[in-house]
Amino acid sequence: MLSDSQDASMPGTGSKRPLDGQDFKNLVEASLTWLRTNQQMVNALNVFPVPDGDTGTNMVLTMQAAYDEIANSSEHNFGKLVHSIAQGALMGARGNSGVILSQLWRGFSKSVDHHPVLDAPGLVRALAGARDTAYKGVVRPVEGTILTVAKDVAAAAEKALAETSSLKKILEQVVAAADASVQHTPELLPVLKDAGVVDSGGKGLYVILEGMLRYLNGQSLDSAAGIVRPLAEMNLENAMEAVEEGQDYEVIVDFRPHAELDLDSFYEDLQEMGTSIQVGEGDGIYRLHIHVPTENRYAPIEYAMTLGTIKKVAMENLLAQMDELANQCGGDGKLSLAKVEAGQIAVVAVTPGKGIARVFASLGAAAIVEGGQTMNPSTQEIIHAFENLPTDHIVILPNNKNIILAANTAAGLTVKKVAVIPCKNVPQGLSAMLRLIPDGDFETVVSEMTAAIDTVETGEITIATRTVEIDGVEVEEGQFIGLLNGKLALSGSDLQGVCLGLLEKAHADHFEIITLFSGANVTKPEVVRISDAIRRAYPELEVEVQEGCQPHYHFILSIE
Q: Is 48 exposed, middle or buried (0-12, 13-18, 19+ CB in 10 A)?
A: exposed
Residue 549 Rama label (left phi>0; alpha psi -120 to 50; beta): left
User: Is CATH 2.40.10.10 what the domain over 345-454 is classified as, yes or no?
Assistant: no
pLDDT digits (tens, 9 = 90+) for 521-544: 888 889 999 999 999 999 999 999
Looking at residues 232-241, what average pLDDT do you find?
A: 48
pTM over 0.85: no
Give pLDDT tens digits for 468-489.
777 788 888 788 889 899 888 9
The pLDDT score that the predictor gives to residue 154 is 96
Whether pLDDT at 231 is above 70 = no
User: Which residues, including other chains, have CB under 8 Å from residue 188's CB and lie 6 or more apart?
Assistant: 143, 144, 148
Q: Which CATH class is domain 457-559?
A: alpha beta
More confident: 15 or 452: 452
Instruction: Round to whole Å and give the CA distance between 36 and 243.
Output: 13
Provide the pLDDT confidence category of residue 54 given band limits of 50, 70 and 90. Answer: low
CA quadruple 351, 352, 354, 359: dihedral positive or negative?
Answer: negative
Q: What whole-number percentage of the chain has pLDDT above 90? A: 53
Query: How does pLDDT run across 384-436, given as a tens digit for each residue?
Result: 899 999 999 999 999 988 788 778 878 888 999 999 999 999 999 999 999 99
CATH number (1.25.40.340, 1.10.260.40, 1.10.12.10, 3.20.20.70) of 4-224 reads: 1.25.40.340
**In the structure, what pLDDT confidence band is assigned to residue 52 with cuts at 50, 70 and 90?**
very low
Q: What is the 3-state secondary structure (H, E, C) of 449-512?
A: HHHHHHHCEEEEEEECCCCEEECCEEECCCCEEEEECCEEEEEECCHHHHHHHHHHHCCHHHCC
Q: Residues 161-167: contacts with CB within 8 Å, 24+ apart?
A: 161/120, 161/121, 161/124, 164/15, 164/120, 165/15, 165/119, 165/120, 166/7, 166/13, 166/14, 166/15, 166/120, 167/12, 167/13, 167/18, 167/19, 167/118, 167/119, 167/120, 167/123
Identical fold for domains 230-326 and 457-559, yes or no, is no
* Angle made by CA atoms 10, 220, 180, in degrees to the nearest 5: 85
Averaged pLDDT score across all residues of the chain: 84
Q: Tell me how far apart the alpha carbons of residues 36 and 12 are, in angstroms, rounded to a whole number.
A: 25
pLDDT of residue 333: 56
Residue 168: which pLDDT band, with cuts at 50, 70 and 90? very high
Q: What is residue 52's DSSP assignment?
A: T
In whole angstroms, give the CA distance from residue 501 to residue 483: 11
Topology adopted by domain 230-326:
Alpha-Beta Plaits (3.30.70)
User: Where do the structural domains in the chain lie, given as residue ranges?
Assistant: 4-224, 230-326, 345-454, 457-559
| CB 427 within 8 Å of CB 556 | yes
